[in-house]
Structure 1
Amino acid sequence: MTSAVGLGTLGPEDASITSGDFFEALTSSKFYKNTKVVRDISGTFRWAPFLALQKSNSFLTMLLLLSKYKMKSVPVVDLGDGKINNIITQSAVIHMLAECTGFHWFESWGTKKLLEIGLPTMSPKEIIKVHEDQPVLQAFKLMRKNRIGGVPVVESGGKKAIGNISLRDVQFLLTAPEIYRDYRSITAKNFLIAVKNYLEKHDKRSPMLSGTVTCKRDKTIKELIQTLDSEKIHRMYVVDDDGNLEGVITLRDIISRLVHEPHGYFGDFFDGVLPLPENCRV
C-alpha cells in the first residue's frame, strides 16, 4: 500500500493508491509499533495533557473555550478528588440552545436570519471541499492540513454538494475494511456509497444516511440550531436557489455569535497560542 506521505495533491487518476486494508497498514507502521501507551502521544495536543474547567468557572469561560479558542470539548474536573466529572462538547451547547425554545431571550435572537448575524463567515471561494471523483484520501488530507472536522463532496465540474465526509468517518477504514478490499478505486463518491451500503446492511444509525443537510441564507438561527441538534450533525452547508454551495456554518460559528470576550478576561494565558488581530471580537 502506498504511503500517504509525499502524495502531494491527489487527482482522480490517483484514486487506486488508496485501496487495500487501512488497518493492516496502520498496525504495520513504525509509528504504531513505537507507540506503547497513550502517554506517548498525549503531548501532541495543543495543551498537554488538557485544558479543563472546574464547576466554579463561569458559563462565559466555557463558551469562549468552545468557540474562540477552538476546543471541541472541555472536561470538567474536581481537583479535590482528582477526577473528571463530565465533558462538555459543542454539541451539548447546541442541544442546550435548542431546549431554550420559548424563552424570550432565545426567541428574540433566534428569529434573526443568518445574514443578520453574519453567517456564514466565509465566501464560496474559501470553502474547503473535495470533488466526487477525487480519492477519499484527499478529503482526510484536507481536514488534517486545515484542522477542520469535515469537508463537502461536490459534483465534478459543478458546485452542488452531494455529500459530506467528516473526521469520524475514518472509523470505516478500521471497522469496515471490506470497503477498501472491495473497491480498487476509492473516490469520494464511491466511499459515500460504500459507507451508506455498509450502514444499511448492519442496521447502524449515522448522519450519513440522511444525505447532505443544507439551508439557505434566509433560514433563522433558531431553525438552524434545531436542525443541527435533531440531525446530530456538526455543520450545515449554505446553498443558493440552484443548490450551489455558498458557505459552511459550524457549531463553533454559532457559539461564537453568543459571546464577546471582555478585554483581559484570560490575562496573558493564551498569549502566543492564537495570533489574533488587534480589536478582535468573537
Structure 2
Amino acid sequence: MEKSQEETKETATAVSNDAYFETIQSRKKLSASLQETLTAAFATIPVSSFPQVPGGKVIEILAETSVSDAVKVLSECNILSAPVTNPEKAYSNDWRERYLGIIDYSAIILWVLEGAELAAVALSASSATAAGIGAGAVGAIGAMALGATGPGAVAGLAVATAGAAVAGGLVVEKGVAKDAPTAASQLGDDFYRVILQEEPFKSTKVKEIVKSFRSTPFLPVSTESNMLTVLLLLSKYRMRNVPVIEPGKAIMKNFITQSAVVRGLEGCRGRDWFDAIAAHPISDLGLPFMSSDQVVSINSSELILEAFKRMKDNHIGGLPVVEGPKKKIIGNLSMRDIRYLLLKPDLFSNFRHLTVSDFMKTVASTSHEAGKVMPPITCKTNSTLGDVVHSLASKLVHRIYVVDGEEDEVIGVITLRDVISCFIYEPPNYFDDYLGFSAEELLKR
C-alpha cells in the first residue's frame, strides 16, 4: 500500500534527522571520550537548572489575539515565538488543553504568502479589469485562509474578483499571477489593504494561524527532564524552542530556545570542557554542514517577497543577500524581518517594485544611525568554534555565514542548531529508553 504524503514527509524527516547527525559525527575530529563525557554530563543536568527567560515569566499570547497584535508583541519583546493559550481552558491542569501551540514568524510568513497566493489564484482565473479586490473577494480569501479551501471557495474567489472590476484599473491577464511575489506585485498597495486592513484578515486570530500553519510541534518537557533531551530536540530534531512544564501542572515554567542555549554555552567560556571544543577550527568539526552550491541565497535586486517565499520553500529561517557572480555577501534577511512589512506598511508604499536592497535600506533608515545597512555576520573556514559561538551569542543572531576569498563569497551557513550539535550526540536508543518511544514518534504527537 502506498504511503500518504504525510507519512512520506515524516519518514523523510526521520531519515534527514539521522543523516544530519551521521554527517556531523563522521566529519568531526574530536576525541570520542570528550564527546561521550559531555553527552553523559548533559544527561545529568536537570532542565530546572537552566536560566529562566528574561523577567522570569514566559510571554504567552491568547488564542483570540489578532495576528497584527501578535506581531507587535513578538517585535516589542524581541522574541521569535510565543506559546498560544486557550482562554477557555485557562485553569486546566492539562497542558494539552491549556496550550494550542506556538505562534512564530515562520507561521506568519506562511499565512501572508498564502494570502497573496490565493489572490494569485483569483487573478489568474479572471481576465477582468480590476483596480483591487472587492469585499466579496476578501471574504473568499479569508474563508480559504480559515479553512474553507475547497473548489467552491476558489471559484467564489475568482467570481468575486471579476465582480470587483472598475474603470481605470489594472488589466490582469488570465494565467499571469501564479505565485505570491507576482500576485503582490500586481496587487500593489492593495496587497496591504487585503492582508492588513480588510476583513476577515484584519481580525484573523492567532488560533487560526496555529491550526493551519503549525511549523513546529508543541512539545514540552518536564522540569525534571535532563538537558541532553532538550539539546537533542533543539539540534537533531529541528525544534526551535522547547517549552518547560512543571510536573502535574499546566503552567509553563520556562521556554528554552536555541539562542538561549548558545548564549548559555558562551557563558561557559573558560571551563575546560568548553575550551577544549571551542578551540577547534570549524573545519575540524565538519562545519559548515553543506557544500557551497547548497547555500540558498537571494540577490539584492530581487523582490523582497521572493526572499520570504524562498525561506518558506526551503524551510529555513534566513538567507544571505548577495551580489555579483561570486555571490559576495552584503546583508542578511531573516523571518523576523516580516514584521517590518506588517507593522510599517507605510514605509513600503512602492511595494510592487520593492527590491531586497531597497527593503534593507528602508529598514536601516528607521533602525540604525545614518541609515547604514547592518553588515552580515560572517566567519572564515579557519575561525574557531569559540569565535562562532561568541558572534552568535553577542550579536543575538541565529546564523553566521562562512565566506571565502577577498570577495567574501558565501560558501556555507552555520546555524544555532549546528553549534549545539557539536557538543553532543544521541546515545543508542536514547529516546526509547528514556521516554518509552522514539523521538520520531514523540514529534508526531
Q: 1:232 aligns with which of 389, 396, 407?
A: 396
Q: 1:251 aligns with which of 416, 427, 430?
A: 416
Counterpart CA distance in 2 for 1:238 and 1:8 is 34
Query: What displacement does 1:209 show?
Result: 5.0
Structure 1, 122-131 or 79-88: larger mean CA deviation: 79-88
Counterpart CA distance in 2 for 1:230 and 1:200 is 18
Aligned to 1:220: 384
Aligned to 2:317: 149
Residues 431 and 439, structure 2, Cα contact 8 Å, conserved in 1: yes
Aligned to 2:283: 115
Counterpart CA distance in 2 for 1:199 and 1:269 is 45
**Deviating runs (4+, > 4 A) in structure 1?**
5-11, 13-19, 28-31
TM-score (ref. length: structure 2): 0.54
Aligned to 1:264: 429
Counterpart CA distance in 1 for 2:380 and 2:301 is 26
**Higher RCO, 1 vs 2 (CA within 8 Å, ≥6 residues apart):** 1
Aligned to 1:3: 116
Kindly indicate whether residue 246 of structure 2 is the aligned counterpart of residue 78 of structure 1. Answer: yes
TM-score (ref. length: structure 1): 0.84
Structure 1: which amino acid aligns with 2:376? Answer: T
Counterpart CA distance in 2 for 1:22 and 1:31 is 14
2:221 alignment partner, SS class: coil
Which ranges in structure 1 are unaligned for 5 or more consecutive residues? 275-282
Counterpart CA distance in 1 for 2:190 and 2:366 is 16
Counterpart CA distance in 2 for 1:220 and 1:233 is 17
Counterpart CA distance in 1 for 2:352 and 2:207 is 36
Q: 1:87 aligns with which of 247, 255, 258?
A: 255
1:223-279 deviations in whole A, cap 9, x for unaligned?
Answer: 1101111111110010112211110000001111111111222224434688xxxxx
Kindly indicate whether residue 193 of structure 2 is the aligned counterpart of residue 24 of structure 1. Answer: yes
Structure 1: which amino acid aligns with 2:116? Answer: S
Aligned to 2:131: none
Q: 1:139 aligns with which of 295, 304, 307?
A: 307
Counterpart CA distance in 1 for 2:220 and 2:178 is 37
C-alpha RMSD over aligned residues: 3.0
Residues 223 and 247, structure 2, Cα contact 8 Å, conserved in 1: no
Counterpart CA distance in 2 for 1:249 and 1:141 is 21
Work out the percentage of aligned pairs sharing the same amino acid.
36
Structure holding more helix per residue? 2
Query: What displacement does 1:156 show?
Result: 3.8
Number of aligned residues: 267
Kindly indicate whether residue 231 of structure 2 is the aligned counterpart of residue 63 of structure 1. Answer: yes
Change in 2 beyond 3 A, CA 1:123/1:9:
farther
1:43 alignment partner, SS class: helix
Structure 2: which amino acid aligns with 1:96? Answer: G
Query: Which has the greater radius of gyration?
Result: 2
